[in-house]
Amino acid sequence: MNKAVKTIIHGHVQGVCYRHWAVQNATQLNLDGWVRNRADGTVEAIFVGKIEDVDEMINRAQHGPSGAKVDKIDVKEALGIVATGFTQKPTVDINQRRGH
């Protein structure tokens, strides 16, 4: 059985190789999805895979790489329609997404 979640990771999570760390850990857990920085200083990620593997990734994400300080993670159900594998995407400016 699979699970898909969208996460927003808050705290000191940019400039500490968080995205690279996420790719390594998600790949190790055989997850599909992606990770990217957001202009507001958070990191956004979609994790798709076996329930126990997605839950493990969320647990790992609460700590992140050394140098990161995660304050909180928002987790919501997602559709899980992603390409196979786990990739790093470019930073997104949330204001551009809203057409501002």
- Which residues on adjacent β-strands are paired with residue 44? 8, 36
Q: In the structure, how many helices (H) and strands (E) does the chain have?
A: 3, 5
Which residues are identified as catalytic? 19, 37
Whether 73 and 8 have beta carbons less than 8 Å apart is answered as yes
